[in-house]
A and B are shown apart, each in its own frame.
Chain A
Amino acid sequence: MDKLLKILSDIRPDVDFANAQKLIDDGILDSFDIISIVNELNEAYDIEIDVEDLEPDNFNTCAAMLELIQKLQEE
């Protein structure tokens, strides 16, 4: 989780990723942030987040993103 929080904070230092619950639904992250996050996660975790995975549920919280990463790593 710490590694993920570090990546996310580097992209958007002004967001409290550890506690935010509706990063997408509340419009905290915009589409440019999403693309930056996806590119960083793909590189850092050697995964391939596809456009089909760009669901609000997968990016609303830090825990959801971690769950997505783990799912893609298992595939």
Chain B
Amino acid sequence: MSFVTLPFFLFVAALTLVYFLVPGKYQWLVLLLGSYVFYWTHSRWLALVLAGTSLATYGIALWLQRINDRGKAYLKQHAAELSREEKKARKEKTKKAARGVLLLGIAVDLGALLFLKYFNFFAANINSLLVRFGGAGSVPMLSLLLPLGISFYTLQAIAYMVDVYRGKEQADKNPLKFMLFMSFFPQIVQGPIPRHDQLAHQLYAPHRFDYTRMCYGVQMMLWGLIKKLIIAERLTGPVNYLFTHSARQMGPINLFAAILYSFQIYTDFSGGMDIGRGVAQILGIELELNFRQPYFSGSIEEFWRRWHMTMGKWMKDYVFYPLSLSKAFTSLGRTSRKLLGQFIGKRLPAFIAMFIAYLAVGFWHGPNWKYVAYGIWNGLFIMSGILLDGVYAKCRDGLKINEQAVTWRVFRILRTFLIVSIGRFFSRSDSLADALTMGRNMFTRWTDITFLTNGTLLNIGLDTAEWVVLCIFLLVLFYVDFQHEKQVSFRAVIARQPLVFRWIIYIGAVLLLLIFGCYGPVYNAADFIYAGF
């Protein structure tokens, strides 16, 4: 039951009806039941993996809570008789015990993900190494099924356990409520990756029906559907063709392919996100924002603060900061300052931590070296941006560039978009070798832009009318994002219109979807790219 199928909308309608009819204290049970029904339609018995991970995480968090509470109670009870050093030692002891439990919890959750998603990748690489050194290469390959959303809910579970360990969150006492937090259906497929403090209390609280909120939710869903069905799905044909036939394409047509994929993945991912956030909003639940007009970013660093925001924040809070401030990295900083001087020495530990975080982002996308290269590509640009900041500033001064000028901003946006798009070679190609071939071919006959006029574009899956429709809706997307960038709320504007006009907008949006949407047997609209990660 995908987000873009009729059964899903009927399911949401039925669930909404029951949700607002039952007494408030039972609403969370309706959500839990609905979430597992939704999950079951996708993954059947793999729902047991989700339930198992949820219950293991629930138990570990309670254990952590008990260790922390006992530590605090002891300190409170013996406050008068303990010296400062003794208190510190006691705190350290508590922390050490909790750290062991936390590591166990992370090993369980991450172990399930690594085994199910990455076992064959590791097995293939170990086999290839064994063969190279004269061995048999006999690590068996397993046919493993991946539970829906495992890459997302594993990060969610780890964040929760770490937050309980850090004392920022109280562990949930009710296992069923916690299972709801882990399985909430509008976000299980492709995020956003929620934090317990942001989502859990909303899920467990009663909600009353609110007509305005429902309208806002429906509007968000419609906009998500327009992005997904009219733009992303329309781009599937040309993108698939151009990436499949990449070996014999020379020149900027390769860049063109990457740019088309940039639009496809943005509208696919953010479209799915809007549908999920819209459904949640109807139910009275606000999911976190995951995109903030990412293609208006002026640098790669800014791009990653606007694209898949909950993932970036997760990496920052649970990989980058803990690594950067760890004892090992702090002492590395001291050594590197002595050896490499203040400028590089001071930054080196943070660079390494950041590089690891970007490698993790790349590897998170899938068990393939191309994703590792994707992480390195992004990490390198961010690091060089920081390292060469002084050089760039001098260049700007030398060229007398006005950094406040609109033209400078536009230049930075276009430059960032190009770097991001070229990075897509890695994430979209079938293999690292294909990505490198496309990158190399891009510079062979790089002035040849005849593909735009010689009819090539009409042989890759879209006819003239389809390209026109695509361009029009890309312009609409640009306009909407541009207005969002200026803090304009379309939903507030629509809400101020008379009832008749509002309904014309709704019916118009549905008609647009019916007329221009790409659905039916020819397309594969039910699939979302990020659901596969």
Contact = CB atoms under 8 A, between A and B. Distances in A.
Contacts, number: 39
A52 interface: yes
Interface in B361-411: 386
Contacts of A39: 330, 333, 346
B168 A35 contact: no
B346 A32 contact: no
Contacts of B386: 32
A42 B324 CA distance: 13
Contacts of B324: 35
B491 interface: no
Shortest Cβ-Cβ A-B pairs, 4 listed: A52-B166, A35-B350, A35-B324, A51-B322
Contacts of A30: 301
Nearest to B326: A51
Given A39-B333, A52-B167, A52-B168, A31 B321 contact: yes
Contacts of A35: 321, 324-325, 349-350, 353
A49 interface: yes
24 contacts: A30-B301, A31-B316, A31-B321, A31-B354, A32-B347, A32-B354, A34-B321, A35-B325, A35-B350, A35-B353, A36-B346, A36-B350, A38-B325, A39-B333, A39-B346, A42-B330, A50-B325, A51-B166, A51-B321, A51-B325, A52-B167, A52-B168, A54-B321, A75-B84
Contacts of B168: 52
A32 B168 CA distance: 23
Nearest to A50: B325
B292 to A, nearest CB: 11
A17 B224 CA distance: 41
Nearest to B325: A51
Task: Report, as a range, how many residues of chain B touch the other chain.
Answer: 20 to 34
Given A36-B346, A75-B84, 19 more contacts: A30-B301, A31-B320, A31-B321, A32-B386, A34-B321, A35-B321, A35-B350, A36-B350, A42-B330, A50-B325, A51-B321, A51-B322, A51-B325, A52-B167, A52-B168, A54-B317, A54-B321, A54-B325, A75-B88
Nearest to B333: A39
A49 B325 CA distance: 8
A27 B386 CA distance: 16
A75 B85 CA distance: 9
A11 B417 CA distance: 29
A37 to B, nearest CB: 11
A32 B350 contact: yes
A46 to B, nearest CB: 13
A63 B349 CA distance: 27
Contacts of B347: 32, 36
Contacts of B325: 35, 38, 49-51, 54
A30 B168 CA distance: 22
A52 B91 CA distance: 14
Interface in A44-68: 49-52, 54
The winner among A31, A42, A54 for most chain B CB atoms within 10 A is: A31
Contacts of B88: 75
Nearest to B163: A52
A24 to B, nearest CB: 12
Interface in B274-327: 301, 305, 316-317, 320-322, 324-325
Contacts of A52: 166-168
A34 B333 CA distance: 15
A30 B302 CA distance: 10
Contacts of A27: 305
Interface string B144-179: 000000000000000000000011100000000000
A49 B322 CA distance: 11
B302 to A, nearest CB: 9
A39 to B, nearest CB: 6
Nearest to A75: B88
Nearest to B320: A31
A69 to B, nearest CB: 16
The winner among A34, A39, A49 for most chain B CB atoms within 10 A is: A39
Contacts of A75: 84, 88
